[in-house]
Amino acid sequence: MPEREKVQFLIISSREGVQEQIRNFYVMGFAQVDDWGRLTPVPNSDRVMTILTRYRKLESTDS
């Protein structure tokens, strides 16, 4: 059984909107700017997306 679980956060918006939200998360202490993935174009759209991957430790459920 894995000891940790992947948790991912996705932002989809205009390039400016994504960059602004990344900066907001940085100011809040949520994530470093460089923690986010590369901006990727959304197919058939004028928007971009980025993803942040974190991991959470799984608690033991043994009784």
Distance of alpha carbon 32 from alpha carbon 24, whole angstroms: 10
Query: pLDDT-derived band of residue 61, with 50, 70 and 90 as boundaries?
Result: low
- pLDDT digit string, tens, across residues 1-58: 569 999 999 999 999 999 999 999 999 999 999 999 999 999 999 999 999 999 999 8
Sheet holding 40-41, edge to edge: 4-13, 48-57, 40-41
